[in-house]
Amino acid sequence: MSLLAATGITKRFAGITALDDVRIAVDEGERVGLIGPNGAGKTTLFNCLLGLLRADAGTVSFDGSDITRLPAYRRARLGIGRTFQRVELFSGSSVRDHLLFAHRIRSGTGALWKDILGLGLPKPQELASCDALLESLGLEGMGGEPIETLSLGQSRLVEVARALMTQPRILLLDEPSSGLDRAETAALAGTLMRIQTDQGFGLLLVEHDVELVATFTDRTYVLDFGRLITHGPTAEVMKDPQVKTAYLGDMLVDTP
């Protein structure tokens, strides 16, 4: 049984069929890629899996339970973490504030309201787990830094850290390489690989950067014009002539 699975997902926007009967599954601890050219429907599928968009048809299940009608915050509490294509951090707050906020959302004790009112002081163990996570991501000593002083690469890591504070069983990443150069992308991939291997959560990587997907994932799904055109072991998918010529062209890396 897959940890996260979606079948028959169809989504239309005013005459455009963004997704047409798409299925996807990610197992526990697996690294899966989702690729496709611009407008293929990747972000739409990502949002349907997260509950940020309601599909017109299809079902989504998590750990064997139907979550199709659950709102995004309840999916997050079940253990579906995510980062977005655009960095969504709050200026005026520190790195640690971002992590604590995420932790309170996941724990769902009502302490979030105290945070909003400025009343809930972090507990020592919350601070310790923030600092340990920052250290594991190579951001040691940066907890007190104002978020606006970080580079884009560091900001992406804070987004990952924030998602990891919710202790996800699966992490969905929408174009984490967006805006990063090759060296920054390689550094981010190395850090993600290390922490995913260490913690064992499942991972769905939505990416334009085919090289990143080729080196990082075990299996890959390919969307085009809202349809799933192929899926399978990443190395085989990358060699598929249909994918190579019709959809990825020169972007495709040569895989052994």
Q: Shortest Cβ distance from residue 38 to ligand ATP (Å)?
A: 4
If the CB atoms of residues 42 and 96 are measured against ligand ATP, the closer one turns out to be 42
* Buried b or exposed e, range 158-172, using 16+ CB within 10 angstroms: bbbbbbbbbebbbbb
* Contact with ligand ATP (CB under 6 A) among 43, 83, 220, 234: 43
Q: Segment contacting ligand ATP (CB under 6 A): 11-19, 72-80, 164-172, 196-204?
A: 11-19
Which helix or strand (DSSP H or E) is residue 131 part of? Answer: helix 124-136
If the CB atoms of residues 97 and 207 are measured against ligand ATP, the closer one turns out to be 207
Q: Judged by CB under 6 A, does residue 18 bind ligand ATP?
A: yes
Q: Judged by CB under 6 A, does residue 82 bind ligand ATP?
A: no
Per-residue x/- mask for ligand ATP, residues 192 to 231, rule CB under 6 A?
----------------x-----------------------
If the CB atoms of residues 60 and 147 are measured against ligand ATP, the closer one turns out to be 60
Could you tell me if 58 and 8 are in contact, meaning their C-beta atoms sit under 8 angstroms apart?
yes
Residue 108, sorted as left (phi over 0), alpha (psi -120 to 50) or beta, turns out to be: left
Q: Shortest Cβ distance from residue 16 to ligand ATP (Å)?
A: 5
If the CB atoms of residues 36 and 79 are measured against ligand ATP, the closer one turns out to be 36
Residue 55, sorted as left (phi over 0), alpha (psi -120 to 50) or beta, turns out to be: beta
* Contact with ligand ATP (CB under 6 A) among 39, 58, 120, 179: 39
Q: Judged by CB under 6 A, does residue 44 bind ligand ATP?
A: yes
Token digits for 39? 């407008």
If the CB atoms of residues 51 and 122 are measured against ligand ATP, the closer one turns out to be 51
Could you tell me if 202 and 26 are in contact, meaning their C-beta atoms sit under 8 angstroms apart?
yes
C-alpha angle with apex 62: 61 to 68, nearest 5 degrees? 40
Could you tell me if 56 and 20 are in contact, meaning their C-beta atoms sit under 8 angstroms apart?
no
